[in-house]
Amino acid sequence: MMCGTKKILIVEDNADLCDLFTITLKRLGLEIAIAITGEEAVERASAMKPDLILMDIRLPKMNGVEATKQIKADPSTKDIPVVILSAFSMSSHGRHAIEAGAVEVLQKPVSVTEIERVLNKYSCTGHEAQTESSSASVSAKRSQETSNILH
């Protein structure tokens, strides 16, 4: 794949949703790691240096906004794009997440198309041409599957 396999850190405390994310994103050729708490998200971000973090807001103990703040406060992880996935994107949590340094807040349920869009937008810049052709082949493949919705 272009610029190596993209590593995505999924931060989500709902086990079913984790499974769904993992299956769907692996099908796109992405390397996936999971964190289920805010603390784990901070540790994993530092250890694996993912290309993108998909972060839930409601998490046990430390929430997604606080985890984002810590990731952005660490020089070794501050440049990793954090995309927030929330059932309540319009709430004050969404605004706080942006203030904490998240690049975008997506409303759950999130479609595979949306995930691909943020991947192409925020990770692996400088490889647009390859990213586009890869994304086209993924789209063709996906059109055979019905819309795969991630809650």
Question: Considering only residues 58, 61, 141, 151, which one is a binding residue for Mn ion as defined by CB under 5 A?
Answer: 58
* CB of 94 closer than 8 Å to CB of 86: yes
Find the shortest distance in angstroms from Cβ 128 to Mn ion. Answer: 33
Which of 91, 80, 98 lies closest to 35, judged by CA? 80
Stretch that binds Mn ion, among 9-17, 18-26, 82-90, 99-107 (CB under 5 A): 9-17
Question: Considering only residues 13, 51, 104, 116, which one is a binding residue for Mn ion as defined by CB under 5 A?
Answer: 13
Stretch that binds Mn ion, among 8-16, 23-31, 98-106, 137-145 (CB under 5 A): 8-16
> How far is residue 79 from each of residues 20, 43, 66, measured CA to CA in Å?
27, 15, 16
Q: What residue number has its CB nearest to Mn ion?
A: 58
Chain centroid, CA 127 distance in Å: 19
Element housing 84 (H / E): strand 82-86
Chain centroid, CA 148 distance in Å: 16
Taking the C-alpha atoms of residue 18 and residue 145, their distance in angstroms, rounded to an integer, is 20
The pattern of x and - marking residues 14 through 53 that bind Mn ion according to CB under 5 A reads ----------------------------------------
Nearer to Mn ion, 58 or 151 (CB): 58
Interface residues with Mn ion (CB under 5 A) are 13, 56, 58
